[in-house]
Structure 1
Amino acid sequence: MERLDMVMDVRDVPKKSKWFMLSLQHLFAMFGATVLVPFLTELPASVALVSSGLGTLSYLLITRGRIPAYLGSSFAFIGPILSARAIGGVEGAMMGSFVAGLLYGLIALLIASFGLDWIMKALPPVVVGPVIIVIGLGLAPTAVDMAMNVNGSYSGMHFSVAILTLTVTIIGSLFFRGFFGLIPILIGIIVGYVYALILGIVNTDFIVASFNQITSASSFGEFFSAIFVAPEFVIPFVHYQPLDVLNFNILAIMVPVALVTIAEHIGDQMVLSKVVGRNFLKEPGLHRSILGDGVATMIASVLGGPPNTTYGENIGVLAITRIFSVFVVGGAAVLAITFGFIGIVSDVITSIPTPVMGGVSILLFGIIASSGLRMLIDNQVDLGNNRNLIISSVILVIGIGGAMVQFSVGDLGFKVEGMALAAIIGVILNLVLPGKEAAYGNGKMFGEADTDSNE
């Protein structure tokens, strides 16, 4: 595959004079989406930044520095984290996330041992596409509530903030070019934040306190301690005992989501292979990239951050800049870790008003749902075929409707609901209904023809 106008190859090391700015640019493109997930799940943004950076570095290590991918907070886990927190608190959600990461490792081992075909049979486009739609549309009520309600009551002023944020983000996505074209989400958040500041709905107390502490420092030690603040990590065996908070209901909510994110991961690797001009499914291998994704999720869980996943935004940055260097991506990861320890950065993120994030969420959650629809279209999945129509329809209604299965075995209670239940039923329907070949559409989602390229 021809790599058009490549600026830097995967293993190229940038010049020291440009390295910082290139990595900062890459991080900024991921920044808006990465901090939105902890905002919605009420997890510390500083922990999300640190776990995102550490997860990316571990991913680069596991993939032998051959895949230029940045890992950020996963949108697919937003609903499951909120449900798991209601059952077992933050600690329970983190342990569910950890076990989901273990599932990545198990699937990576199976792929390394038996190849790729078996997972494609379980997760064809007709299953994955509707489940991704469920992820986006299932979060739609949350986005709308954040955009226009305050404590459950409508607020025109707050809704105006959300609409302005959304408008600027849309304009930026369509018309901005160069560096600004990479960060429309961040620009939308900044403009919405400034407008909210003018309206007086931004709580700046923590920012002012941090700034005063910095300016009043009388020694280097005080200045250093005012700048750098340890994130609010939630670490197993330090803050809680894992087995005390883990239960089967949490596992039933969290673990099946990994099947969806793994399918998304495979799709990302396909697109990334096209952009860079290398077959990453063969070298360093899909098993390594999935393992890297799983380890990053486990790292996040033991720190108290949201699960990590490879980012579509990362592919967009690579496609636009043609800078494929893993050293640039690694630099972005180091900057994310550094920002996570700078207190005033965390204070600014925490002070972002809810309607600002609501405005951005309207677009981002819609894009998630649309990407599921695009998967069906790109693979030419025929919904005129009754089999495909049945599978996709059942997944959509069960997932968006919030259906739940609850049962008990002895003293143990089990509950599977929403997206997790939809994904499981979708996989089962696809395996048992006749005419499996229709589930793959044109067969190119994970086909060899799409990944053959020159090394």
Structure 2
Amino acid sequence: MKSTEAAIGIREIPKAHKWLTLSIQHLFAMFGATILVPFLTGLSPAVALVSSGFGTLAYLLITRGRIPAYLGSSFAFIYPIVEVSKTSGVAGAMIGSFLAGLVYGVIALLITMFGLNWLLKLLPPVVVGPVIIVIGLGLASTAIDMAMYLPGEEQVYSATHFTVALVTLGITILATVFLRGFLSLLPILFGIIGGYVFALTQGIVDTTEIQAEWQNIISAGSIGGFMQALFHMPEFLIPFKDFSPTEVFSWHIVFIMVPFALVTITEHIGDQMVLSKVVGNNFLKDPGLNRSIMGDGVATMIASFLGGPPNTTYGENIGVLAITKVYSVFVIGGAAVVAIFFGFMGMSTAIIGSIPSAVMGGVSILLFGTIASSGLRMLIDNQVDFGEKRNLIIASVILVLGVGGAFIQVTDDVQIAGMALAAIVGVLLNLILPGKEKSQGNGRMFEATEMDEQQNDGAA
């Protein structure tokens, strides 16, 4: 793979006066999306920031400091976290996240041993595309509920909240369409900030906690008191300290959470392909896709030990690399450290906590639709032929089972439901129905043969 001219190379340490600025750029790029996931799932945004920082640092370590990727909260796990939390609480969702991370580890080991083609045959575009569509559409009602109804009330319509949501959506759309360069990577952040300002004019922002934090800071009588007022311990949820995993575990958690790991792994491979092209280094070969997937899995397990959402590589930060041509892993590591720093700042937690649900709902309308559209784009890019009955059957069954909310009641306490069931059935149909080669489309999804050869070379 040809080398891309870099302003700052992968292992190059930037000058001190540039380092912080470049790292903060990456923080801005990931910030809006990373805090949105915990906001939608009932987790702590502060913990999400801390876990994304530690997860990114672990990823950089596992990949030997050779892949400049930032890891933030995964949108694919919003639905399973919410569903598991209903029956097993947030602790159950953390167990599920840990198990999903273990799946990453198993897949990484299998890739090391057998290459990659087996995974691509298991998850061709005709399976992964519709599952991604289901993930986006399955979250649509969540976005609309947050946008239209009073928070904490059962289906109580609020014209004020819906107006705030629509204004937020409008700002996000305008930012997406008209901003250029680095600013084009921040539509979610601009949408949240613009919607927040408009929400202030509508009187739906509760600033009580912000005022309390500010009062504590200005009334501090010493440096020690000031530091104590400025920084707070995030609300971590730590296994064996805050809950007993053996008491919370159930097979229901496994069936809900684990199937999503297969989908996010395919997204991870796609990110690595794009990142390799942007930087000009073949990361699939060196340090190897097995290490990259292992790093992603470890980051997700770290998040589960802290009470944060699963992590994944962020396309927004890949976009920053493409625009700035600053590929330094030290810049990425700096962004991770700053994210951890922000997670411990009480004022940042108070500000994030004061964002109205209508603002997040407005952003989510576009974001969840984009997730669904990305699944459709996968099918188009790979030229999946729906004139083939096999492809039509697989996609149709996945869509109806997933969006329709079908479930299988295994026992009184164990249920395989919704998106997880759709993903499992899709994989089984792909394995059972004849003509598997027709589900690969034009073969561009991950360039399977080339990657498999590269991975085998790397393993050797």
TM-score, normalisation: structure 1: 0.96
Q: What is the aligned partner in structure 2 of residue 372 from structure 1?
A: 375
Number of matched residues?
451
Paired letter, 1:140: A
- In structure 2, the partner of 1:245 is 248
User: What is the correspondence of 1:43-122 to structure 2 with a 5 Å cutoff?
Assistant: 43-122=43-122
Q: Structure 1: which 4+ aligned runs deviate by more than 6 Å?
A: 449-453
* Corresponding residue SS for 2:410: strand
Q: Secondary structure at the match of 2:416?
A: strand
The alpha carbon displacement at 1:318 in A equals: 1.6
Following superposition, the deviation at residue 402 of structure 1 comes to: 0.9
Selected match of 1:296 from 287, 294, 299: 299
CA distance in 2, matches of 1:413, 1:156: 40
Q: How far off its partner does 1:383 sit?
A: 1.3
Is 1:358 the equivalent of 2:361? yes
Aligned residue runs from structure 1 range 53-202, under 5 A: 53-150=53-150, 151=153, 152-202=155-205
Residues 31-85 of structure 1: CA deviation (Å, up to 9, x unaligned): 0000000000111100000000000000010011111111111111111011111
How far apart are residue 15 of structure 1 and its match?
1.1
1:114-143 CA-to-partner distances (Å, cap 9, x unmatched) read 111111110111111110111111001111
Q: Is contact 2:3–2:281 with CA below 8 Å preserved after alignment?
A: no
Moved more, 224-233 or 10-19: 10-19
Find the aligned partners of 1:377 and 1:9 in 2 and give their Cα distance.
Answer: 35
Q: Which runs of 5+ in 2 are unaligned?
A: none
Q: Distance in 2 between matches of 1:423 and 1:115?
A: 23
The question of whether the paired residues in 2 share the 8 Å contact of 1:270 and 1:450 is answered with no
- CA distance in 2 between counterparts of 1:16 and 1:448 reads 41
SS state of the match for residue 442, structure 1? coil
Q: Which of 205, 208, 231 is the equivalent residue of 1:205?
A: 208
Matches within 5 A, 1:283-362: 283-362=286-365
Cα deviation for residue 450 of structure 1 reads 7.4
Deviations 1:172-221 (A, max 9, x none): 11211233222121111111101101111000000000000000000111
- The DSSP-based 3-state class of the residue aligned with 1:255 is helix
- Paired residues of 2:410 and 2:416 also in contact (CA < 8 A): no
Task: Provide the C-alpha distance between the structure 2 equivalents of 1:404 and 1:79, rounded to a whole number of angstroms.
Answer: 14
Tell me the residue number matched to 1:37: 37
Are 1:417 and 2:420 an aligned pair? no
Q: Residue 29 of structure 1 aligns to a residue in which SS?
A: helix
1:51 touches 1:305 (CA, 8 Å); kept in 2? yes
- Asked if structure 2 preserves the Cα contact closer than 8 Å seen for 1:104 and 1:258, the reply is yes
What is the CA-CA distance between 1:414 and the residue it aligns to? 2.5
Alpha-carbon shift at residue 164 of structure 1 (Å): 1.2
Determine the C-alpha separation between the residues in 2 that align with 1:448 and 1:2. 20
Q: Which amino acid aligns with 1:66?
A: R
Contact 1:49 1:336 in 2 (8 A): yes
Asked if the contact 1:87–1:250 (Cα under 8 Å) also holds between the matched residues in 2, the reply is no
Deviations 1:329-355 (A, max 9, x none): 111100000000000001100100011
**SS of the counterpart of 1:69?**
coil
Aligned partners of 2:397 and 2:6: how far apart in 1? 44
The answer to whether residue 386 in structure 2 is matched with residue 383 in structure 1 is yes
User: Is 1:20 matched with 2:17?
Assistant: no
Cα separation, partners in 2 of 1:4 and 1:104, compared to 1, 3 Å: closer
- 1:67-109 per-residue CA deviation (whole Å, 9 max, x = no partner) reads 1111111111111011111111111111111111111111111
The offset of 1:413, in angstroms, is 4.2
SS of 2:72's partner is strand
CA distance in 1, matches of 2:16, 2:202: 42
Distance 1:436 1:182 in 2: 38
